[in-house]
Chains A and B, each alone.
Chain A
Amino acid sequence: MPAASPGWWAQAAQIARKDLRLEWRSREVLFTMTFLATLVVLIFSFAFIAGDDSSLSPSVTAGILWVAVLFSGTVGLSRTFDREREGEAIRSLLLSPVPRSAIYAGKVVATTVLMFMVELIVTPLAAVFFSTTISTHAAWLALLLLLGTIGFAAVGVVFSAGLLRSRSRDVLLSVMLFPIVAPVVMAGARGTSLLLDPATPDMGGALLWTQVLAVAAVVFVTVGLWAFEPVATGE
């Protein structure tokens, strides 16, 4: 009788740990993603800030922040999966006796952790650049970003896994991902803007958007767990 294999959660955690350990050795994706997100924020400030006033309205700041998260997240996703393609690592991963859903969950966790680390750096940076106060509702803001990132990663992992062998995978990932995650971006940006507004803080509105993000995260993770196997490993 073979030794009992570890449970589903342990296997998912193992996959996530493997991805994060690989990333931690080179820190390639983390550094490039953070730099890209910072550049996106800077480019937007060059485009939007005019005259003496160096502050932007909360809705613009929130929008810039979420666009930076979206762009750097997309790049991060495709780089994480490029690693699986090198040396056909994905083949060994799929041959290992791990449920596909555990592979999916591990990948989502690893992507979320990476993106969240980038957000932890870029959000205060954006606040400094645009003279916005984020400390008032810092925990709530972090929750919004975390929920939005989970929703984004849940869809993104399914698509990047399916795109592994496509030649135009980079552009196709954005083409497929952006319309689907539009509600996440909308809810995230609106919610963030309501939290950042010092004059008229709208807690009820922010709560509503947090709920939308939570529902989106739950729905996308559920569908992802269900669809990852046929989409990524059909044959």
Chain B
Amino acid sequence: MSAGRPSDFRLVAGAAVAALGFLGIPFLIAATPIEPVMGIVQKIFYFHVPCAYLLFLSTFVCAGASIAYLFKGSEGGDRLALCSAELGVLFGLCVLVTGPLWARVAWGVYWQWDARLTSALLLWLMLVGYLLARRYGGPAAKRLAAGLALFAAVDAPLVYVSVNVWRTIHPNTSVITQSVPEMKLAVRLAALLFLVLWGVLLALRLRLERARAALGELELACEDALEGP
């Protein structure tokens, strides 16, 4: 791929913003007041929550792109679905690692079958299932994975409702965070920053997939030319 295309400029700019942001945000987080109930561990919140947003965003991008692939045959949609599913698994892993670290201190246990935890875990498992189906699904892998993404998208509200009802029968969790303006600002900036990072990673990953597809076509064309009369 040649340098100097407009998308390259946006990529470099995005990467620079993300890099600068990740240098700066620790100072901002350090400047937020310490939460009186949970103490210093509450600060993991500034990375945990943006990652959770991105897990949900990735799932819906994946589902939307899968629908475009399934019903319109868009190869680009399939590539976008794959890349966002991978990012969803990555950021979801961040959620599932940072969450228990915080919970161990705040709740005394690593895991609670809380509504939000369980929904996030199930959503993450669906994305892992998507990647497994995509990779080992045989000749129909792409369509199969796209079907899974479609079901995952309609399933998400059902999961949320049923997990909520399931847990409200035994309510024993409470996540109370006082909304101090500095905290709100820090968490919003962190969310924005993670969104930029997500965008940059997605663009990079999509570029790789596009290059791979183009290479495949070239190889086919090459074979045709060599075998031709």
Please choose the segment from B1-9, B82-90, B145-153 that sits at the chain A interface, where 4 or more of its residues have CB less than 8 A away: B145-153
Contacts of B122 in A (CB 8 A): 179, 182
**Is A162 in the interface zone, CB < 8 Å from B?**
yes
Q: A175-B129, A182-B122, A231-B146 are in contact. Are A219 and B158 (CB under 8 A)?
A: yes
Contact with B along A160-183 (1 / 0, CB 8 A): 001111111100100110111011
Q: Which residues of A are found within 8 Å of B141, using beta-carbon distances?
A: 166
Please classify how large the interface on chain B is, using the bins under 10, 10 to 19, 20 to 34, 35 or more. Answer: 20 to 34
A208 partner residues in chain B, CB cutoff 8 A: 165
| Neighbour of B138 across the interface among A165, A178, A186, A220, CB < 8 A | A165
Any B CB within 8 A of the CB of A190: yes
Query: Once the chains are docked, how many angstroms separate the CA of A143 from the CA of B75?
Result: 43
Contact in complex: A183, B159 (CB < 8 Å)? yes
Residues of B within 8 A of A162 (CB): 137, 140, 143-144, 147
Which B residues, 131 to 167, have Cβ-Cβ distances below 8 Å to chain A?
132-133, 136-141, 143-144, 146-148, 150-152, 154-155, 158-159, 161-163, 165-166
Please, how many angstroms separate the alpha-carbon atoms of A219 and B137 in the complex?
A: 25
Interface check A22, CB cutoff 8 A: no
User: Given the interface contacts A159-B144, A179-B125, does A190 sit within 8 Å of B150 by beta carbon?
Assistant: no
Q: CA separation between A180 and B129, bound complex, in Å? A: 10
Contact of B143 among A178, A180, A186, A234 (CB under 8 A): A234
Contact A166 B137, CB 8 Å, known A175-B132, A231-B143? yes
Q: Contact: B137 with A163, CB < 8 Å?
A: yes
Most buried by A among B141, B146, B162: B162
Distance, CA A205 to CA B141, complexed state (A) = 40
Assembly CA distance A231 to B140 (angstroms):
8
Interface size class on chain A is: 35 or more
Chain B hits for A219, CB < 8 A: 154, 158
Residues on the B chain within 8 Å of A163, using CB? 137-138, 140, 144
Encode contact with A along B17-56: 1 for CB under 8 Å, 0 otherwise.
0000000000000000000000000000000000000000
Interface residues in A207-231 by Cβ distance below 8 A to B read 208-209, 212, 215-216, 219-220, 223, 227, 230-231
The residue on B at minimum CB distance from A158 is B147
Known: A223-B150, A227-B147, A230-B71. A176 touches B133 (CB 8 A): yes
Is B162 touching A172 in the complex (CB atoms < 8 A)? no
**Contact of A155 with B by CB under 8 A:** yes
Least CB separation from A187: chain B residue: B162
User: Complex formed: what's the CA distance from A205 to B162 in Å?
Assistant: 12
Expressed in whole angstroms, the minimum distance between the Cβ of B79 and any Cβ of chain A is 16
Once A165-B140, A208-B165, A230-B71 are accepted as A-B contacts, the answer to whether A159 and B147 lie under 8 Å apart by CB is yes
A164 adjacent to B155 (CB under 8 Å)? no
B158 touches A172 (CB 8 A): no
In the complex, how many angstroms separate the beta carbon of B74 from the nearest chain A beta carbon?
12
When distances are taken between beta carbons in the complex, the residues of chain A under 8 Å from B95 are none
Query: Whole-angstrom distance between the alpha carbons of A227 and B28 in the complex?
Result: 47
Bound Cα distance from A85 to B148, whole angstroms: 22
The answer, yes or no, to whether B81 is at the interface (CB within 8 Å) is: no
Give the docked Cα–Cα distance between A183 and B161 (Å). 9
Contact B166 A190 (CB under 8 A): yes
- A124–B82 Cα distance when bound, in Å, is 45
B70 within 8 A of A: yes
A165 to B139, CA, bound (A): 7
Closest chain A residue, CB of each to CB of B130: A176
A–B pairs, 28, beta carbons within 8 Å: A162-B137, A162-B140, A163-B137, A165-B138, A166-B139, A166-B144, A172-B137, A175-B129, A176-B132, A176-B148, A179-B122, A180-B148, A180-B151, A180-B155, A182-B122, A183-B159, A205-B169, A212-B158, A215-B158, A219-B158, A220-B151, A227-B150, A230-B71, A230-B147, A231-B70, A231-B144, A231-B147, A232-B143
Known: A190-B165, A223-B150. 10 other contacts (CB 8 A): A155-B151, A163-B137, A166-B140, A167-B136, A168-B136, A180-B151, A183-B155, A186-B162, A205-B169, A231-B143
Q: Give the 5 A-B CB pairs with smallest separation, nearest first.
A: A166-B138, A231-B147, A162-B144, A183-B162, A179-B125
Residues of B within 8 A of A (CB): 70-71, 122, 125-126, 129, 132-133, 136-141, 143-144, 146-148, 150-152, 154-155, 158-159, 161-163, 165-166, 169
